[in-house]
Amino acid sequence: MDTPEAPGSMMRRLRLQRNLTLRDAALALDISSSALSRLERDLREVERSDVDMVIQGYGLGHWEASQLQMCAGIAPLPPSAGAAKAAWSSLTENLAMLTLPAFVLDEFNYLVAWNGPMHALWDLPTAPVAPLSPLQDIFSERARELLADSWDATTRALCRHFYLRTLRVAGDTRLHKMLSSLARTHGSLFIDHWNMAMTDGAGPDAESAANLTLRVGTHEGVIEYIVTRGAAHSTLPIELYVQVPLGHPSASRHERLVANAEIGSVVRCQRVGPR
C-alpha cells in the first residue's frame, strides 16, 4: 500500500510545480522563509491556518485544495451561505457569456447548469429540472444516434472521467445508488464499458482538462469538439467545462448550429441533496 504523502511534502511539491523559490513563496504566503521551510520539512504540526494560507496563496483549485486538506487530516469547512451564493452567481455570469457549449458538473458528476449553446447541441431542457447524469444519458438512444461511430470510445472515456472525478466521494451512499441504478437500467452494456474504462491505459485526468474528443452528428453535419475544463471553484465542489470545435469545418458548422441559440440564458438545477 502506498504511504500517504505528508502535508509538508505536498506543500513543497505545490511550490516547485509553480517554479517558486522558497523566498518567493514565503513572500507570496506572507510568512518567513524559515517558517515555510519548517512546514515543508514537516518539522512542526500543520494547522488549518497553514493549509488555508497555501490554498489562497497558491490559488489552488478544489481538487488540489481537497488533497492538501486530506494530507493534513483537516476536514474542509462547508462554504457559508454567502460564499456559496456568490460562487454560483459568478459561475452563472461566466456561463451566460460563453458562445460555446458549456456546462457545470457537481462532485457526483451531475449536470447542474448549462448554457444556450449546450441546449442547441444536445437538446437539453431550457427550464430547471432535476440534476442530469451524463453517464445515464450516454446510454440513451438519442446519445447513440448523435455520437454514432464514436459512441463506444466516448462512453469509455466518460466512464473513466466519472470514476476519477468521484473518487473523493467514493464512500457516499448517493454515489453507490447512482452506480446501482446504472447497472440495473443498462445491465451488461454499462458494466462492460465500465470495466473497459478501468483497464484503459490513458484517459481524462481528474486534475486537468477532460481532454475528451467528441464527434457529434447534427443537422449541420458532424462537428468535432474537445471538452476542456474551464474553471474550478474553491468554495463549491463544482467545475465548469467547455466544448471547443476542432478545426475550421467544425467551427463553421458549430456557428450555424448555435446561430439561433439564446446566448445569455442559463439553466441551473438544484445540486444533489443530503444522503
Residue-range domains of the chain with CATH: 7-72 (1.10.260.40), 81-268 (3.30.450.180)
* Alpha-carbon torsion (54, 56, 59, 63), positive or negative: positive
Convert the pLDDT of each residue in 207-218 to its tens digit.
444 467 888 888
Q: Taking the complete model, does pTM exceed 0.85, yes or no?
A: no
3-class SS of residue 23: helix
Q: At what angle do helices 33-40 and 22-29 cross, to 10 degrees?
A: 110
Per-residue pLDDT of the chain (275 residues; tens, 9 = 90+): 355 688 899 999 999 998 989 988 888 888 999 999 999 998 888 888 898 899 888 888 777 888 888 888 876 665 555 555 666 677 777 788 888 899 888 888 888 888 889 888 888 887 777 778 888 888 888 888 888 888 988 888 888 888 887 887 877 888 888 888 889 999 998 998 888 887 765 444 444 444 678 888 888 999 999 888 775 555 566 788 889 999 999 999 999 988 877 777 888 876 654 43
List the beta strands (DSSP E) in 45-161.
102-105, 111-115
Residue 155 CA to residue 194 CA, distance in Å, equals 9
Q: Within a 10 A sphere around the Cβ of 257, how many other Cβ atoms?
A: 20
One-letter amino acid of 101 = P
Cell numbers for 165, please give them. 472525478
Closest by CA to 58, choosing from 100, 99, 27, is 27
Convert the pLDDT of each residue in 156-213 to its tens digit.
888 888 888 788 787 788 888 888 888 999 999 899 888 888 776 544 444 444 467 8
